[in-house]
Amino acid sequence: MLWAVATIVFVGIRLVPGDPALAILGGPGSQASAEALAAVRAEYGLDQPVLVQYGAFLGRLVTGDFGESYVLRRPVADVIGAQIGATLALAAASLVVAWAIAIGLALVSTGRSRWARSIGGGIETVAAALPQFWLASILVIVFATGLGWLPAVADGTPAGVVLPVLTLAIPVAGFLAQIMRESMLDALAAPFSLAARSRGESETGLRLRHALRHAAVPGVELSAWAFGYLVSGAVVVETMFAMPGLGRTLLQAVTLRDVPLVTAVVLVVALAYLVVTFLADVAATLIDPRRRDAETGDRPAPTPRAEVAA
Amino acid sequence: MPSEPAGTTGARRILPIAAVLAVGVLALAGCTSGDAEPTTDASRTTLVYASGDAEPTCLDPHVGGNYPQALAATQFLESLVSRDEDGEIIPWLATGWEVSEDGLTWDLTLRDDVAFTDGTPFDAEAVKANIEHLQDPATGSSTGYLAAAKITEVEVVDDAHARFHLSAPDSALLESLSQPWLAIESPVGLSRGTDENCLAPIGTGPFAVQSWTPQDRIVFTRNDDYSSPPADAGHEGPAYLETIEWRFIPDPATRYAALEAGQVDVIDNAQPDAISRAGEASGIVELDAPRPGASNRIEFNGSKAPFDDERVREAFVRAVDPDAGIQALFFDTAERSYSPLSSVEPTSVGDADLFTVDPDEADALLDEAGWTDRDDDGVRTKGGVRLTAVFPISTNQSTAAEQSLFEQFAASAGEVGFDVQLQPLDLSSWYGALAAHEYDLVSAPYTKVGPDVLRIVYHSDSMTPAPSGYFANLAQVDDPEIDALLDEASASQDADARAAAYADVQERLLETYRLLPLYDQQNHFLLTADLEGVRAMPTVSTPTFLDARFTS
């Protein structure tokens, strides 16, 4: 799996025309001398046949050596090590915030009066469809330049990450809330809800203690996808808010054809995605009682969907 | 006077409202205290600069040598000479210079009381070490390397005298030395090796590199022992500011928003819409500093069809309307150029009459050149070949407005029968397309101090591809008359004769439609209005904060 990713990246980046040696030395207003180019080519092995480069590249990967960035002249592992924490923290914080918003929306709007449902559903649909680039611009215009409450670009303080996190979290929250509401409706109409009500459980208690747990399962399963979305969104958000991180590193590396760095970032993200998918599966199993004895096929019959009066 | 009491009453009425608003604003600010940069009064000693350029991968401008490096290096490195606003070379680390009769030997007198921020004295040995560093292939210098190409040796006469030996006369030597890409660094710093020196080069400038956190910021702190301002500086002694935080904010809208919100004090690469807005909004002022060297221009690849035919080049010029596009897309922030050289070069020569817009004339010229047939798409053909113009565009170097301008050109040229194929490419693909000769039109900036840029860009020597495949003469101008004039200008010791030769070169280039000049290389900075003393160096137009301070 990771080998396939590595190969695709290696081939893809070679297919684009252009000379990485020129990119390494180049820049507006500079023209590389032949001597400088030759030195760069020799230094990075760019004068070797492509297959030799590929073989050397795979060999190094197997031993955990990502090589040295063409452009930054530092070991790729160091570059990634310095940036990955920021991106993972950003993605994790966004996921938490997305969950908080989604749970809030689902609890408040599901099965309530028609207008509450309509507003909740509307917010979810719009949120899920928002492009990050646009959302970031609007948030900056409103909260930074307009109200002046929050910094327009990240400045290393907690306040500085609020807008980036919201930019990433809002669309994900929209998706999660849509999914959760569906299953929450199912749950509220399920026999266990009737049983709980008959025990005298309040509607709020029912939602919090029983329905939410039921509704969370598809959301948790979706969280792995959401994490992938957040990491790819980090490219946009880190660039727009001038935050350090893997997304911005990747963008710069792609632009400058920094093969070792691009490859390593893609591999690391692919690896992180695999890990998160596994974790989401585990979490879904823990939350959902039915999963634990899924082998027995002991699932309740699907409940016909019905709106339950509040 | 009746108006005065009325005014006073008005003021009384407004004051309480203003007070309430102020309290409200303070309350809001209180809620989020700690998230903004320090913004207090005249005690502000930290300036936050936000660059839209790519973050340098090495802070030593000897290595590679591009504009982002020059921007940063201006804060902590200094050159042997500088240039004043009239284009005259003025003293800096060198106080005087004398050239021999044959133009092959230059004697430079150096300041003898200056030290680098690591304590190493600045002397002739340091100058020698720097030129050798630039010329060492292992350094990987390109811009500085080319500019110093004619220097064969730096002889140390004594501590305060360095003698430059040249392989050929070079009237552009001092202009070349004034550039940040040939700035003088501590030889002890250089000896640490490229990797270490890249992180924090050591110079004699008003600030020193304190730290560099890649993808976040560079922090410059004041050099308290600073004593070597260029001859045209605003004051002697150390800078007023204590710290410069140098940030990288690639998105233009965010960069401007951060300036508006007071989070940063200076931004570069300001976009036309932001510049026009800033003019109206109070609190933000513009610093327009066109770069020296070549203007922004479209060049025709004259080495192959269709633009090897002067009539076809002229037809393209007649077909497109840069003025209309510049007005619409640049909000009047860019001034039309008619010269191969930047307007900051006193030797620039332009001729607006050569660049009138006349699509009918374009049609006639193309007919005359034999492109008489049209295919089903309305594209002209000649002997079955379409009138195609491949136009690779560097998305790193051409701004959004410029790319839109080129789209307009493609449409206008299409009306007279060109098939202009725009190809937006990333930097290395763009270099690749040029090296492979896969272009008919190209727009490539070239920044250099002085008219000698004409030699680099239009001398036939620059047409021969280097082993890398790259060449600076993208127009493929191979004109013995131009070569002769450029050689003459380069060897001339006489300023007037030199200017006359460069004027002839420019006229000939323009008359034979080798290029379509558009505007100066745009270089707009926006600053908070309470910052004073900021100016762009008259060398390569990078901002210097030596004289900068906040006013309350």
* A262 contacts on B by Cβ (under 8 Å): none
Q: Which amino acid makes up residue B523? A: N
With respect to residue B125, please indicate whether it lies within any of the assigned structural domains. no
> pTM (2 decimals)?
0.81
Longest dimension (CA), chain A: 85
CB nearest B263 (choices: A21, A82, A151): A151
Domain count, chain B: 1
Q: B428–A22: do the CB atoms touch at under 8 Å?
A: yes
Q: Which amino acid makes up residue A143? A: F
**pLDDT for res A18:** 61
Q: Please tell me the distance from the alpha carbon of residue B62 to that of residue B135, in angstroms, as a whole number.
A: 9
Which segments of chain A have a pLDDT < 70? 1, 16-37, 44, 110-113, 289-310
With respect to residue B217, please indicate whether it lies within any of the assigned structural domains. no
Q: A37–B54: do the CB atoms touch at under 8 Å?
A: no
With respect to residue B87, please indicate whether it lies within any of the assigned structural domains. no
Q: Which of A13, A22, A250 to mutate to test the interface with B (most CBs of B within 10 A)?
A: A22
By the 8 A CB rule, do A21 and A46 touch? yes
Residue A194, helix vs strand vs coil: helix
Q: B146–A31: do the CB atoms touch at under 8 Å?
A: yes
Residue B299, helix vs strand vs coil: strand
Residue A76, helix vs strand vs coil: helix
CB nearest A148 (choices: B28, B34, B433): B28
For A241, the closest chain B residue by CA position comes to B254
With respect to residue B380, please indicate whether it lies within any of the assigned structural domains. yes
Per-residue pLDDT of chain B (552 residues; tens, 9 = 90+): 333 333 333 333 333 344 434 444 444 443 444 344 444 456 789 999 999 988 888 899 998 888 899 999 999 999 999 999 998 999 999 999 999 999 999 999 999 999 999 999 999 999 999 999 999 888 888 788 888 989 999 999 999 999 999 999 999 999 999 999 999 999 999 999 988 999 999 999 999 999 998 878 999 999 999 999 999 999 999 999 999 999 999 888 889 989 988 899 999 999 888 888 876 566 899 999 999 999 999 999 999 999 999 999 999 999 999 999 998 899 888 999 999 999 999 999 999 999 999 999 999 999 999 999 999 999 999 999 999 999 999 887 888 899 999 999 999 999 999 999 999 987 777 887 888 889 999 999 888 999 999 998 999 988 876 555 568 899 999 999 999 999 999 999 899 999 999 999 999 999 999 999 999 999 999 999 989 999 999 999 999 999 999 987
With respect to residue B332, please indicate whether it lies within any of the assigned structural domains. yes
With respect to residue B544, please indicate whether it lies within any of the assigned structural domains. no
For B248, the closest chain A residue by CA position comes to A242
DSSP letter (8 states) at residue B137: G
Q: B214–A79: do the CB atoms touch at under 8 Å?
A: yes
Burial B247-256 (b: 16+ CB within 10 A, else e): bbbbbbbbbb
For residue A232, give the H/E element and its range: helix A212-240
Residue A10, helix vs strand vs coil: helix
With respect to residue B270, please indicate whether it lies within any of the assigned structural domains. no
Q: Please tell me the distance from the alpha carbon of residue B356 to that of residue B244, in angstroms, as a whole number.
A: 47
* A240 contacts on B by Cβ (under 8 Å): 251, 253-254
Q: Which of A41, A69, A155 to mutate to test the interface with B (most CBs of B within 10 A)?
A: A155
**pLDDT for res B146:** 82
| Domain ranges, residue B409 | 296-519
**pLDDT for res B23:** 40
Nearest-Cα distance to chain B for A230, in Å, is 19
How far separated are the first and last CA of chain B, in Å rounded?
33
Q: A244–B445: do the CB atoms touch at under 8 Å?
A: no
Q: B35–A144: do the CB atoms touch at under 8 Å?
A: no
* A160 contacts on B by Cβ (under 8 Å): 35
Nearest-Cα distance to chain A for B523, in Å, is 13
Question: Which contacts of B547-550 are long-range, i.e. CB under 8 A and separated by 24 or more positions?
Answer: B547/B233, B547/B234, B547/B235, B547/B239, B547/B240, B548/B47, B548/B239, B548/B240, B548/B241, B549/B240, B549/B241, B550/B41, B550/B42, B550/B44, B550/B45, B550/B47, B550/B265
CB nearest A17 (choices: B257, B396, B433): B433
| Interacting residues of A188 by C-beta distance below 8 A, sequence separation 6+ | A110, A111, A206, A207, A211, A308
Q: Please tell me the distance from the alpha carbon of residue B309 to that of residue B391, in angstroms, as a whole number.
A: 17
CB nearest B140 (choices: A40, A137, A254): A40
**pLDDT for res A20:** 65
Q: B432–A39: do the CB atoms touch at under 8 Å?
A: no
With respect to residue B45, please indicate whether it lies within any of the assigned structural domains. no
The CATH number of the domain where B346 resides is what? 3.10.105.10
Q: Please tell me the distance from the alpha carbon of residue B470 to that of residue A19, in angstroms, as a whole number.
A: 10
Nearest-Cα distance to chain B for A236, in Å, is 10
Rounded to two decimals, the ipTM of the complex is 0.71
Nearest-Cα distance to chain A for B372, in Å, is 35
CB nearest A39 (choices: B32, B137, B250): B137
Nearest-Cα distance to chain A for B433, in Å, is 7
C-alpha distances in angstroms, B410 versus A176, B316, B317, B522? Answer: 46, 10, 12, 22
**pLDDT for res A288:** 72
Tokens of A137: 């611009």
CB nearest B142 (choices: A36, A136, A147): A36
